[in-house]
Chain A
Amino acid sequence: MSLDLVAAGTVAAMMAAATLRAAAPIIFASLGGLISELAGCINVALEGVMLVAAFAGVITSAYSALWFPDAPLWLHPWLGCAAGLLAGTALAGLLAVFHLELGADLIVAGIGLNILAQGLTVLLMAHLTGDKGSTASLTSFALPSLRWAGLGDVPVLGVLLNGDGDAGHNVLVYGAMAATGWVAWALRHTVLGLRLRAAGENAEAALAAGLPVKRLRYAGLLLSGLLASGGGVFLGMGYLTLFQADMAAGRGYLALAAVFLGGRRPLGTVAAALVFGGATVMAARLGLLAVPSEVVFMIPPLVTIAALVLVKQHQRLAARRRAAAGRAALISP
């Protein structure tokens, strides 16, 4: 193998590993968005769920170390993780209560909860740390990374599987992959998956079949909250090791876009999430060159819009091809 090939492969592997890392939170959130969407409830609050989960995770891991100084070190991040998942799921539960019990419009309530999450996290952060920007003054913990032993010297594979610094990928990057597999499988092969889809596609039919549609929608929104919380926890305890104001930075909305872009199918959704992750990595790369940062920041939103347009164009061309074939049949029976 020539050196050039290895170098190119290493760069590609580096980009792939970075993309995975950047995409992991979006993958989590988009899987959550997918489940609730299929259950008939669009979850606009993914953004807020991620924020709350990241905040609760970081704060809990930090305070866990203060409150239980004698506990083993590995415990703190996991306590934080559990708290983050719980808090994010609770926010999604709040959305469910407002929509299903109190009749609130799902989209508006979702936006409301995002604002609530934004306000509460900053308020509590300022109260706890005296800083409105980040929790840098606290010592919080990251979840462990999984490193494949013995790959340190293997050229391309080592970078791909263990990341740029050979530290391995965070356990939640693997978590995102596992979640992808689980969601794809569960939606298709479990009774719950069947019922969720039925309740989402034709609520009246599900109701007439005796299904507890409301409870199914609760399940959809809570599951969606749990998954998106995974993304939030990764942001604060893997991607970075602290909480910042507005840390989700629009990833929740991107995740929602990924659901639509992926045609409301699990693998399509995750593919779209990977594209968004790739765009972030690309933006960072271009930022190293002399491209103005403003232009770099425009890339992810423009990619999203372009992707929405291209997918539609693609569907339209495919339809036109089918129609043309049909027309041929019409003329010569």
Chain B
Amino acid sequence: MMPSREGARIALAVAAALALGFAVMACVSDQPWAAFRALLTGPLPSIDHTADGRVVVHRLVRFGAWLQDATTLTLVGLAIAIPFRARQFSLGADGQLFMGALAAAAVSLALGDVPAALPLAFLAAAAAAATWGLLPGLLKTRFEANEIVTTLMLNVVAVQIYRLVVGRVLNDPTAGFITTPPLPDAATLAPLIARTTVTAMVLVAPVAVAAALFLLRRTTLGYEIDLAGANPWFAARAGVPVARATMVAFALGGAFAGLAGFHVSNALLKRLPVDLTPGIGLEGIVVALLARGRVGALPLAALGYAYLRVGAQAMERATDVPREVVLVIQALIILFVVSDRLAPLALGLLRRVRASMGRRTA
């Protein structure tokens, strides 16, 4: 589990980012307080008592949005965190997610309304994204190509392939906008909570985290990934297949991003529009950072971060603050969380101020 000091440090960083975010809102908004309240309470359902004493739950949609966003974020967090165990800075979760979603949709549409469609689409998403994830691994181990550059470039390529296929191959001419036809019912997941998009995938995410933890801690494959990350030269001399371990880490990360893609296509949208927005993959970096690279802490980090994202949507709808303010808060969280010397510095400053105030009063 995460040591409490580290947890406190991260909470402090998030609080500081929110405070600064609020300052930015106050600059650009006429109703900063309302906006801030919307941001912080948006995802919560409101519970009312009707006049006749019955309990009514409002805004379940947003609560559902929170859980389903946390599901996606946990999976893309895994896609960043696992290659990072091999000290590979993959930024490729975005492209992998698009490939996973595309594969899941294509398999679902090809198979039609048969019971096997669901598991096969699930596997196809994982396999396609793992393959796409393997590419930067191959480029790194075979050609020493910097993975930051290659994953970013492959993201662009993946999004374009996605648009090409959705727009020109899987296109539904009757839809009125560019999209695939609706996926067959047998291939999609039904909501677990009424009026929300929360499906069984909300349970798959923690299972995926547990599986990743088991793999990293208990299997020889996981050990190889750790050793290759900690010291590749040593690993090589000791007889560990470093290149294979690195590629496995990339592919595994890809597989989890692919599941996030499956979640988007077969659980949330149930059809794929051509203009699916890229960028969610990069949010995985924030989640992995908030978890400080600890796989076990990913779901918690994802829940926290998803809360903020859903709150931002509520805020944009309710006030004049664009949701881009969340980009600012996100950036500040990233910066504050990775600034190891920030907290000691701030605390030291605080202590000095308090000391000088104490002197003044004495």
Q: A contacts B directly in the complex (CB < 8 Å)?
A: yes
CA distance A126 to B331 in the complex (A): 19
Chain A CB within 10 Å, residue with most, of B149, B154, B340: B149
Question: How many residues of chain A are within 8 Å of chain B by beta carbon?
Answer: 44
Beta-carbon contacts under 8 Å, B100-122 to A? none
Given A116-B327, A126-B324, A260-B149 in contact, is the A294-B334 Cβ separation under 8 Å? Answer: no
Chain B CB within 10 Å, residue with most, of A107, A294, A304: A294
CB closest residue in chain A, given B25? A123
* Inter-subunit contact B146/A260 (CB<8 Å): yes
* Inter-subunit contact A308/B143 (CB<8 Å): yes
- The A interface is mostly helix, strand or loop, or mixed, namely helix
Shortest Cβ gap from B11 to chain A (Å): 18
Contact of A105 among B145, B325, B338 (CB under 8 A): B338
* Inter-subunit contact B322/A305 (CB<8 Å): no
Q: Mark B155-183, 1 if CB is under 8 A from A, else 0.
A: 01100110110011000000000000000
Q: Mark A102-145, 1 if CB is under 8 A from B, else 0.
A: 11110111011111101110111011000010000000000000
Beta-carbon contacts under 8 Å, B17-70 to A? 24, 27-28
CA distance A109 to B144 in the complex (A): 24
Shortest Cβ gap from A107 to chain B (Å): 6
Residues of the A chain whose Cβ atoms lie less than 8 Å from the Cβ of B289: 108
Residues of the B chain whose Cβ atoms lie less than 8 Å from the Cβ of A111: 91, 282, 285, 334
* Inter-subunit contact B157/A302 (CB<8 Å): yes
> Of A22-30, A172-180, A250-258, A322-330, which stretch is located at the interface?
A250-258
- Say yes or no: is A301 at the interface (Cβ < 8 Å to chain B): yes
CA distance A147 to B328 in the complex (A): 42
- Say yes or no: is A70 at the interface (Cβ < 8 Å to chain B): no
Given A108-B285, A313-B143 in contact, is the A120-B328 Cβ separation under 8 Å? Answer: yes
CA distance A124 to B322 in the complex (A): 10
Given A113-B331, A308-B145 in contact, is the A250-B338 Cβ separation under 8 Å? Answer: no
CA distance A127 to B167 in the complex (A): 35
Residues of the B chain whose Cβ atoms lie less than 8 Å from the Cβ of A250: 152, 156
CA distance A313 to B339 in the complex (A): 38
Residues of the B chain whose Cβ atoms lie less than 8 Å from the Cβ of A124: 28
Given A132-B324, A294-B167 in contact, is the A109-B335 Cβ separation under 8 Å? Answer: yes
* Inter-subunit contact B145/A109 (CB<8 Å): no
CA distance A112 to B337 in the complex (A): 10
Residues of the B chain whose Cβ atoms lie less than 8 Å from the Cβ of A185: none
Residues of the A chain whose Cβ atoms lie less than 8 Å from the Cβ of B331: 112-116, 119
* Inter-subunit contact A118/B327 (CB<8 Å): yes
* Inter-subunit contact A123/B334 (CB<8 Å): no
* Inter-subunit contact A108/B334 (CB<8 Å): yes
* Inter-subunit contact B330/A104 (CB<8 Å): no
* Inter-subunit contact B339/A103 (CB<8 Å): yes
CB closest residue in chain A, given B343? A102
- Say yes or no: is B153 at the interface (Cβ < 8 Å to chain A): yes
CB closest residue in chain B, given A97? B339
- Say yes or no: is A297 at the interface (Cβ < 8 Å to chain B): yes
Shortest Cβ gap from B312 to chain A (Å): 11
Given A113-B331, A118-B327 in contact, is the A309-B339 Cβ separation under 8 Å? Answer: no
* Inter-subunit contact A109/B338 (CB<8 Å): yes
Given A132-B324, A294-B161, A301-B154 in contact, is the A116-B332 Cβ separation under 8 Å? Answer: yes
* Inter-subunit contact A101/B341 (CB<8 Å): yes
- Say yes or no: is B345 at the interface (Cβ < 8 Å to chain A): yes
* Inter-subunit contact A294/B160 (CB<8 Å): yes
Residues of the A chain whose Cβ atoms lie less than 8 Å from the Cβ of B167: 294
* Inter-subunit contact B145/A309 (CB<8 Å): yes
CA distance A294 to B161 in the complex (A): 7
Residues of the A chain whose Cβ atoms lie less than 8 Å from the Cβ of B350: none
CB closest residue in chain A, given B146? A260
Q: Mark B1-21, 1 if CB is under 8 A from A, else 0.
A: 000000000000000000000
Residues of the B chain whose Cβ atoms lie less than 8 Å from the Cβ of A300: 156
Chain A CB within 10 Å, residue with most, of B146, B148, B153: B153
Shortest Cβ gap from A252 to chain B (Å): 10
* Inter-subunit contact A113/B143 (CB<8 Å): no
* Inter-subunit contact A112/B146 (CB<8 Å): no
Residues of the A chain whose Cβ atoms lie less than 8 Å from the Cβ of B27: 127
CA distance A253 to B92 in the complex (A): 14
Residues of the A chain whose Cβ atoms lie less than 8 Å from the Cβ of B282: 111, 115
- Say yes or no: is A331 at the interface (Cβ < 8 Å to chain B): no
CA distance A300 to B152 in the complex (A): 12
Shortest Cβ gap from B59 to chain A (Å): 26
Q: Name 8 A/B residue pairs within 8 A (Cβ), A-sorted.
A: A102-B342, A103-B342, A105-B338, A119-B328, A298-B156, A298-B157, A302-B153, A309-B143
Q: A308-B145, A308-B149 are in contact. List 8 more A-B contacts (CB 8 A).
A: A104-B338, A112-B334, A120-B24, A126-B28, A126-B322, A250-B156, A294-B167, A305-B154
